[in-house]
Chain A
Amino acid sequence: MNIKVLGSGCPSCIKLEKYVKLAVEQLELEATIEKVTDMQDILGYGVMSTPALVIDGKVVSTGKVLSPKDIIKLIG
């Protein structure tokens, strides 16, 4: 599984990344977590509101910090 956190370094983007890591650890998943910080790349996903979450190339959340519980629902 490939998970990307989209966001240009705002505090909420950092928070989302932390929660994604937590969720992945909890589920003991084999997943790569990447950060996408370049505005052009973020827009390339069709996203304007960050932080956003992309799982295996599909945008699943935009403009909010998901809780670890919500993330587990999405990737579990």
Chain B
Amino acid sequence: MNAFNVFNDIFLKMVWLSDLVYSLLESIFQLDSESTLFGILHFFIYDTIKIFILLSFLIFLVSYIQSYFPPERTTKILGRFKGITGNILGALLGTITPFCSCSSIPIFIGFTRAGLPLGVTFSFLISSPLVDLASFLILMSFLGPQIAIAYVIVGLILAVLGGLIIDKAKMEEYLQDYVLEMRRSGDINALVILEMTRNDRIKFSFDQVIDIIKRVWLYVLIGVGIGSTIHNVIPEDVIGYVLGGNNPFNVLIASAVGIPMYADIFGTIPIAEALLGKGVGIGTILAFMMSVTALSLPSMVMLSKVVKKRLLFTFIGIVSIGIIIIGYLFNILEFIV
């Protein structure tokens, strides 16, 4: 066992917590460890505690890094790059800026007003809810390093390519009129970047932890609840029939189910964990997670305030097709490897 595995078991997987919950349920509550109830309770308690511990630490960490890249600075950085470099940087900066789709509209308008190419803005917009450091480490904890790394890489590629296609499609005219109007008046140099002390950054990160946990705790509990039900109640062959390798529509179904669901990536992880345990393919699981986070209805509604239908549907089309390709590709790869 190498150092990484030890680290992973203690800090990310928290094997000790699993054992602790196990023995608590067995000794104090006198539950039969073979029963369904035991399984449900164990999954629920262990996953809930684990997610909230990880979330608090990771949000703090990511927010601290994020404090060096407020949207104003991100805009200025992106303004210096042209072409695919801009898209790649947009996708990368998307991984360390806001977790929340509620801040994506001011950022969208800010980018547009500062004159950034539409493609760069969309690269940022696709990667922002999809990929971030916190979700990477949580994925690592729940699903292992292979899936975590695969998820991040394909997420970034999707963001870069999606942005490039939107750029090539020359769709500026499909911004909402008032946004277009602003584009003519904006001045990227006027953006204000205030200095922050170390204490400011710590306070900012702490506030972010409180803020984000307040916003996502319910989704996490629902996610853990669904995951726990899948894990313990729904028979493997039912899941296998709908999402397993023998159903050629598995990825399509997983993506379609994901769209109306609105959850943070943190809420989808326990569901993914349970599906993985039931033998569902990695590609199908990735497709589900990506469609929940990148294509949720509330973020579509927000986006429709700044872009016209044609651009909105182009965006949805590109992301959906991308997710479906990623899903099938990973299922095939998994099959070969």
- A residues within 8 Å of B by Cβ? 8, 10, 12, 39-40, 42-43, 45-50, 59-65
Check B109 against A49 for contact (C-beta < 8 Å): no
Check B75 against A48 for contact (C-beta < 8 Å): yes
Check A46 against B72 for contact (C-beta < 8 Å): yes
Check B191 against A46 for contact (C-beta < 8 Å): yes
Q: For residue B75, which residue of chain A has the nearest CB?
A: A48
7 extra A-B contacts, CB within 8 A, seeds A43-B182, A65-B207: A10-B102, A39-B106, A43-B109, A45-B192, A49-B72, A49-B103, A64-B204
- A9 CA to B150 CA in the complex, in Å? 39
List 5 tightest A-B contacts by C-beta distance, closest first. Answer: A48-B110, A48-B71, A46-B192, A46-B190, A59-B192
Please give the distance in Å from A73's CB to the nearest CB on chain B: 13
Please give the distance in Å from B187's CB to the nearest CB on chain A: 8
A10 contact set on B, CB distance < 8 A: 102
For residue B107, CB closer than 8 A to chain A, the reply is: yes
Check B182 against A50 for contact (C-beta < 8 Å): no
Check B207 against A47 for contact (C-beta < 8 Å): no
- B residues within 8 Å of A by Cβ? 70-72, 75, 102-103, 106-107, 109-110, 113, 178, 182, 186, 190-192, 194, 203-204, 207, 211
A62 contact set on B, CB distance < 8 A: 70, 72, 192, 194
- A62 CA to B106 CA in the complex, in Å? 13
Q: For residue A52, which residue of chain B has the nearest CB?
A: B192
Q: How many A-B Cβ pairs are below 8 Å?
A: 50
- Residue in A12, A48, A61 with the greatest tally of chain B CB atoms within 10 Å: A48
Contact of A43 among B103, B113, B204 (CB under 8 A): B113
A interface secondary structure, majority: loop
Q: For residue A61, which residue of chain B has the nearest CB?
A: B194
B interface secondary structure, majority: helix
Please give the distance in Å from A14's CB to the nearest CB on chain B: 14
Q: For residue A7, which residue of chain B has the nearest CB?
A: B106
Check A49 against B191 for contact (C-beta < 8 Å): no
Check A49 against B70 for contact (C-beta < 8 Å): yes
B203 contact set on A, CB distance < 8 A: 64
A61 contact set on B, CB distance < 8 A: 194
Q: For residue B98, which residue of chain A has the nearest CB?
A: A49
- Cross-chain pairs A/B with CB under 8 angstroms, 26 sampled: A8-B106, A10-B102, A12-B211, A40-B178, A43-B109, A43-B110, A43-B182, A43-B186, A45-B192, A46-B72, A47-B191, A47-B192, A48-B71, A48-B75, A48-B107, A48-B191, A49-B103, A49-B106, A59-B192, A60-B194, A61-B194, A62-B70, A62-B194, A63-B204, A64-B207, A65-B207
- A26 CA to B305 CA in the complex, in Å? 40
- A40 CA to B177 CA in the complex, in Å? 13
Please give the distance in Å from A31's CB to the nearest CB on chain B: 21
B190 contact set on A, CB distance < 8 A: 46
- A40 CA to B113 CA in the complex, in Å? 9
A46 contact set on B, CB distance < 8 A: 72, 190-192
